Amino acid sequence: MKTLQQSEKIIAERYRIIGKLGQGGVGITYAAVDLNSNQKVALKALSLRLTTEWKKIELFEREAKTLSGLNHPGIPHYIDYFQVDTSQDRCFYIAQQFAPGKSLAQWIENGWKPNEAQVRHIAYQLLEILTYLQSLLPATIHRDIKPQNIILQKNGRVFLVDFGAVQNTYHHTVTGGSTVVGTYGYMAPEQFRGKAVLSTDLYGLGTTLLFLLTQKFPSDLPREKLKVKFRDIVSISPEFADWLEKVIEPAIEDRFNSAKDALSALRGEQPSGNNPDKMFKRSPQSRITLIDTKRWLLIKIHPDRSPSKLKWFFQFIHLSYKFLLPFSLILGFVLSSLSCEYTTTDWLQRLSGLFFNISILAITTFTLFYALMWLCRTDYRQFTRPIQIRPQDIQRVKLRGIHLPLLKKSMTFCGIRAKSRNYCFGLFLPQAEKEWLVGELNDCLSKLK
């Protein structure tokens, strides 16, 4: 992509271009001066005319949206996102705080040879930034950790920049996207399959640290079964080498599960070792997933073994409300009108009466069901929806009973009493799994306290 703007040009009557900072896969970044504040800023630009893929525009907009919600000293502050239209083109811009310093790639190019202590200090700061990104809901994955995207100041302070490849776990899960984004040599193996998890950024971090230690691109280092072999060409402590080796494991399950665990291990602490995607997993029929237990608790239940009576009951309620009730009422009125016109047709009167009775039954059942739900302060839709709640808001977790119409015995479900509302889940699960779920939740809450 060629240069879009020349020095001294003023963009949107506010930003004066003073030079080019860099160029990536999505846009060109310029150094500019904000004429309103007289502060130096980084201005990233993307030209619609010069863009050959709509995916780049989507990534650019996603970057702006992500940056607007971030607040960390290691990430340049978001200022503005706007577009400028001309007769020949439309350009999109992201304005950010300017991060003074040089990229790690520039430092190495200028002859810098950091020692283990300096590399560790960089790793600490980057892991703290990644821990912050992974603590968000949904967790944010940078997907392009490399020396060019890490700014280092002379005082040792580090900034993480260029969120053009950013992905959040929710977006990836819902869309099942398979776009390959990243930089060869620093990309985790799963990125070639279009997959990104929390430990994906750890792989990029590890290969970046290897670049600092070896002064070589990761793709030029020897490998054995996809695993980089570096111990013979670096002078670092065995402990740091062990940690680094775990960070760059090709298999996801062999790496640290998160930046938080990797940071704890680097500090000499014991990492939790819990994979957020596998916590409390019991069977394919039921699963509880915890995402950053200090902030949020997300409960997902997949009730594949629903009791048949409950299935029929909820289907009957749904059909009664959506189809049976309006159909019966309309047909009842039609038949009643016909029976009044043709007084000799007793069967029409009986048929219209039958449909009116069906309507009354549907209304009665539906009313009783919702009255029961209201008395129990329960929303029946919660039985099939994921539960998202802050652990500190939970007051009590227990099994609760409810007597459903048309069933001979009471049924139980898992209930959470919170500060603002009650949550209900697990109605369709076997009793043993309900008891297991409540037990696991109480154990989890006791550990958090």
Domain end position, chosen among 251, 273, 295: 273
Question: Is residue 256 located within the same domain as residue 315?
Answer: no
pLDDT score of 362: 61
CATH number where 42 lies: 3.30.200.20
Question: Is residue 73 located within the same domain as residue 221?
Answer: no
All residues at 6 or more sequence positions from 365 whose CB lies less than 8 Å from its CB, including other chains: 316, 317, 320, 405, 406
CB 199 within 8 A of CB 258: yes
Q: Is residue 296 part of a domain?
A: no
Confidence of residue 396 (pLDDT cuts 50, 70, 90): confident
For 397-429, the pLDDT digits (tens) are 888 776 655 555 667 777 888 877 777 777 666
Cα Rg for the chain, rounded, in angstroms?
30
Confidence of residue 217 (pLDDT cuts 50, 70, 90): very high
**Rounded Cα distance, 369 and 184, in Å:** 58
Domain count, the chain: 3
Question: Model-level pTM greater than 0.75?
Answer: no
pLDDT score of 373: 52
Question: Is residue 90 located within the same domain as residue 23?
Answer: yes
Question: Two tokens at 62?
Answer: 């996603």
Q: Is residue 278 part of a domain?
A: no
Domain end position, chosen among 44, 67, 97: 97
**Rounded Cα distance, 236 and 242, in Å:** 10
Confidence of residue 268 (pLDDT cuts 50, 70, 90): confident
**Rounded Cα distance, 188 and 182, in Å:** 9
Question: Kindly report the CA angle at 77 between 73 and 81, in degrees rounded to 5?
Answer: 160
Question: Is residue 319 located within the same domain as residue 407?
Answer: yes
Question: Is residue 31 located within the same domain as residue 156?
Answer: no
Question: Is residue 82 located within the same domain as residue 111?
Answer: no
How does strand 411-418 pair with strand 422-425?
antiparallel
- Alpha helices for 69-168 (secondary structure H): 104-109, 116-135
Domain end position, chosen among 228, 255, 273: 273
First to last CA, the chain: 54
**Alpha carbon of residue 215 to chain centroid:** 34
Q: Which amino acid is at 16?
A: R
Question: Two tokens at 342?
Answer: 């043709």
In this structure, how many other beta carbons lie within 10 angstroms of the beta carbon of residue 296? 16
Question: Is residue 348 located within the same domain as residue 419?
Answer: yes
Q: What residues does 402 pair with on adjacent strands?
A: 411
For 79-107, the pLDDT digits (tens) are 999 999 888 889 999 999 999 899 999 99
For 189-202, the pLDDT digits (tens) are 888 888 888 899 99
Confidence of residue 302 (pLDDT cuts 50, 70, 90): low
pLDDT score of 289: 52
- Specify the higher pLDDT residue, 9 or 41: 41
Question: Is residue 42 located within the same domain as residue 166?
Answer: no
**Rounded Cα distance, 62 and 134, in Å:** 17
Question: Is residue 198 located within the same domain as residue 58?
Answer: no
For 26-63, the pLDDT digits (tens) are 678 899 999 999 999 999 998 888 877 777 888 888 88
Please tell me which of 61-70, 201-210, 314-323 the model is most confident about, judged by mean pLDDT.
201-210
pLDDT score of 441: 76
pLDDT score of 283: 40
Least confident of 37-51, 60-74, 151-165, 306-320: 306-320
Q: What percent of the chain has pLDDT over 70?
A: 64
CATH number where 183 lies: 1.10.510.10
pLDDT score of 372: 53
Question: Two tokens at 436?
Answer: 């297991």
Q: Is residue 269 part of a domain?
A: yes
pLDDT at 306 over 60: no
Question: Is residue 375 located within the same domain as residue 431?
Answer: yes
Q: Is residue 282 part of a domain?
A: no
- Specify the higher pLDDT residue, 374 or 316: 316
Supply the range of the domain harboring residue 183: 102-273
Given CA atoms 264, 269, 275, 276 in this order, what sign does their dihedral have?
Answer: negative
- The pLDDT of 256-283, averaged and rounded, is 67
Question: Is residue 162 located within the same domain as residue 19?
Answer: no
For 159-195, the pLDDT digits (tens) are 999 887 776 543 333 333 444 556 788 989 888 888 8
Collapsing DSSP to helix, strand or coil, 56 comes out as helix
**Rounded Cα distance, 145 and 126, in Å:** 10
Tokens 């670092």 — which residue? 236
pLDDT score of 349: 57
Q: What residues does 91 pair with on adjacent strands?
A: 47, 84
259-266 vs 116-135: helix crossing angle, rounded to 10 = 150
What are the residue numbers of the active site?
144
Question: Is residue 393 located within the same domain as residue 437?
Answer: yes
Phi, psi of 49 (to 5 degrees): -65, -35
Phi, psi of 48 (to 5 degrees): -70, -40
What b/e string do you get for 413-426 counting C-beta neighbours within 10 Å, with b at 16 or more?
bbbbebeeebbbbb
